[in-house]
Structure 1
Amino acid sequence: MDPGLVDDSHLYLQATHRSQSIWDTSSTVVLSCRRREAASQRTIPFDQLIAPYLEAAGFLGVSQVGFMQLDWHLITALVERWRPETYTFHMPCGECTITLQDVAVQLGLPVDGEPLTGSLRYNWMLICNDYLGVVPPDMKGQRLSLPWLAEQFEELPPDTDIVSVQRYARAYIMQLIVGFLFVDKSNTLVHCMFLQFLFDFDQAGTYTWGAATLAWLYRELCRASNAQSLEIAGPLMLLQSGVQAASEQSGNMLLIYRWTFDRLSRSQINWTPYTPDIMASLPVRCQSGQAVWTYIGPLICFHLVEKHQPDRVLRQFNMLQTPPTISYTNQRLHQIDLRGKHGQDWRRIHAEHIGVLNSRYDFRVEAPTTSEPTVSENYFVLYRSITRRFITQEGAFYHCMYDFVDEVQTFSVEHDIEALGQICDRTTERVDHIIQQTR
């Protein structure tokens, strides 16, 4: 059985990708999806008094997003098709991905503005005292306890002064930031680096919280796509919100999702879900930043630098998709994390990438628009030679059988050979039965 990938110059990290391990071993390992339950349940409750401050800082939209039950099997199946070389999901019908447009529309976060990065050389105890009005009794390096923070802001009395309301708003935003958007693998600790941007709420709204959120998700996807990874964190609601989960659950949902993606056709993807009518009904915050929705270049979140490549998914913008070019991922950047880097000034370290981001209007996609999602004539000729179409050997086998049956059925219909058509129907039923046995 052949998984595809005739030309490996595009997907050059295949040897360490989890799809290679799955093909070789038929692994059914499901990724653990990390989230902070306290934050997802809004331990620090929303109060209408803080709404103006959340709006100014760009977080009112996120505060209104409801709880979403994560489907670990679905997310795992998506990660298996995520490629860190291209920052896209490789489906049989082409590439697709989460873009700045998705972040803006779904979360209402600002995606056009100043990069979210800076120095870690602060007295964080002093910052906590000035911004929150409380000092943590014990800090783990540059992190404070999320349960402790929630205990300090259990409720907001109606006669509270403005300073206290602002402090409460900052604590609530920190809960959203570290518990909903920038989720990491720590269950109870919160990094203080984001707090430095929340003194002035109007100024906070000028930063690209949405772009930073997308950078965080990209990094988590890239890490999780490695064959050795067992978990994934980040804003996973963005990953799941655009995919229809199965209505029926069984013990082997991962296999079912794999099979579904193996057979995914162009018509089964809603490439442009944000219709003019939908966009017109959304708040202004969800429509802002359209000038950079097709920006090609780095996304920055402190130490993270990840690539936004809408040129590979132009069908999502009603533009003509041409064959993709080779995309090189900077492995040095991909290995950077915060461990042991308490005094770094990331604005200085990433100055080159910030320079590109500051010229973002000069790095936007230019392509012919189309009335419906369209690819050029030669797109699939190249794409099918450089993509990994199948994740498992079973998937490749089932696909070959279905293709054969489809071809014979077409022949039988055209030549009105009823008996042959019936045989093909029975064969298809047998294949379906085999699939059902894997559930």
Structure 2
Amino acid sequence: MASSSSEEQLCYGPEDPSLLFHQNEHISASLLANGTSNVFRVRRTESKVWIVQMHPTVKDLLDVWGFKGLLECGRPMRVDNELITALIERWRPETHCFHLPVGEVTVTLQDVQTLWGLRADGRVFTGRDYPIGYEDWPSKCRDMLGWIPDVENETKQGGLLMTSLIHQTTIPLGDGLYDYVYMQRARIHALILLGGLVIPDTTGCKVPFMWLNAFDDPFDVSSISISWGSAALAFLYHYLCEASVGRQRRDVGGPMVLLQLWAWERMPTLRPSFLISPMHTPYTPSGAK
């Protein structure tokens, strides 16, 4: 990318189009033509992730499943849509990098692990679009989550509504219950974290049914270790590429909270001032600051 013109103004187009061949479809082409672009709106339910109450036994299960670092961040964060839009304008799907005046940079697995504490190694997180071991999704939800979703709403939309999942967490859990009850609640919390923060889609309001297949055997999840970090990074790349070449798009999905944390960490001049000097606790994710 050209960093500046002879008049020392920012140039959005590539100096050599042989590599950055998507320029005609890229969002920066409209910036060259019009001088402005619309601000993307991040679709998320991240703020709702932190309002749910969690039983200590459920939290222990989530820690073992690999969400310990994410839970330690433990607070909602206001997303800067203008910052996200500015980064999307400099993202190139051909190279999966941000092309900035200072050079090319990108988000790495190390960043995901450092900021959120998610595993960077382990089994790839994938999904099959049919209920493994069951005839239909309502039956699987009944056994795995402890409730049957609304067939008219959730089943037709191909996913569990975030409002339904959060509503289930409002039902209090006592002590001394059967282990499977805590397992069911832990799966609900895991789906809320995935759909609301780690790998949200552009709807920002539902969680695909197929993600439930990853939690068939909770002990298997613990022992084999699913790489949640690689899933988050893959979703981030996917939605950045989708937004950068989709001129008609106004909403963007993916873990944009992670992207904002990365920008604040790697480009401190963009970071808000701390009211209190942050103290980083060892063995906790940097995002907790």
Range class of TM-score, shorter chain: 0.7 to 0.9
Hey, what does 1:222 align to over in structure 2? 241
Matches of 1:222 and 1:146 in 2, distance apart?
25
Cα distance, 1:220 vs structure 2: 0.7
Residue 153 (structure 1) aligned to one of 153, 166, 169: 169
Equivalences for residues 248-267 of structure 1 within 5 A: none
SS of corresponding position for 1:190: strand
Matches of 1:79 and 1:141, distance apart in 2: 29
Q: Which of 172, 184, 196 is 2:201 aligned to?
A: 184
Contact 1:57 1:203 in 2 (8 A): no
Q: CA RMSD in A?
A: 2.3
- How far residue 39 of structure 1 moved from its aligned partner, in angstroms, is 3.2
Q: How does 1:320-399 map to 2 (within 5 A)?
A: none
Give, in angstroms, the shift of residue 141 of structure 1.
4.6
Deviations 1:24-55 (A, max 9, x none): 1012411111111563343x322222122112
AA paired with 2:145?
Answer: L
1:199 aligned residue (206, 216, 221): 216
Partners of 1:27 and 1:172 lie apart in 2 by 40
Amino acid at match of 1:166: M
Change beyond 3 A, Cα 1:9–1:234: same
4+ residue stretches of structure 1 with deviation over 3 A?
37-42, 244-248
TM-score (norm 2): 0.80
Task: Give the residue type in structure 2 aligned to 1:45.
Answer: Q
Aligned mates of 1:38, 1:70 — CA distance in 2:
10
Query: TM-score scaled by structure 1?
Result: 0.54
Letter in 1 for 2:217: D
**Percent same amino acid at aligned positions?**
33
| Aligned partner of 2:142 among 125, 129, 137 | 129
**Is the 2:195–2:204 contact (alpha carbons within 8 Å) kept by the matching residues of 1?**
no
| Unaligned runs of at least 5 residues, structure 2 | 265-269, 274-279
Q: What is the distance in 2 between the residues matched to 1:247 and 1:133?
A: 42
Contact 1:18 1:228 in 2 (8 A): no
Letter in 1 for 2:105: C
- 1:95-127 C-alpha deviation (Å, 9 max, x unpaired): 111110011111121221111124212221122
**Which of the residues 36, 41, 45 maps onto 1:32?**
41
Aligned with residue 158 of structure 2, among 142, 159, 168? 142
Q: Which residue of 2 aligns with 1:99?
A: 108
Query: For 1:201 and 1:109, how far apart are their aligned partners in 2?
Result: 18
Secondary structure at 1:140 match in 2: helix
Post-superposition Cα deviations, 1:363-397, rounded to whole Å, max 9, x if no partner, equal: xxxxxxxxxxxxxxxxxxxxxxxxxxxxxxxxxxx
Distance 1:168 1:23, change over 3 A: same
1:7 shift after superposition: 1.4
1:169 counterpart residue number: 186
Cα deviation code 1:38-73 (max 9, x no counterpart) = 63343x322222122112211122122221110111
Q: 3-state SS of the aligned residue for 1:106?
A: helix
Q: Distance in 1 between matches of 2:220 and 2:114?
A: 21
Alpha-carbon distance change, 136 to 196 in structure 1, aligned in 2, over 3 angstroms: same
Q: Counterpart of 1:208 in structure 2: which amino acid? A: S
Unaligned runs of 5+ in 1: 249-277, 287-439
Q: Does the CA-based 8 Å contact 2:109-2:233 persist in structure 1?
A: yes
Deviations 1:231-271 (A, max 9, x none): 211111111113243659xxxxxxxxxxxxxxxxxxxxxxx
* Distance of 2:128 and 2:232 partners within structure 1: 18
Q: Secondary structure at the match of 2:104?
A: strand
Q: Is residue 111–residue 208 contact of structure 1 (8 Å, CA) maintained in 2?
A: yes
Q: What does residue 60 of structure 2 align with? A: 52
Structure index of larger Rg: 1
Does 1:63 pair with 2:64?
A: no
Asked if 2 retains the 8 angstrom alpha-carbon contact of 1:116 and 1:209, the reply is: yes
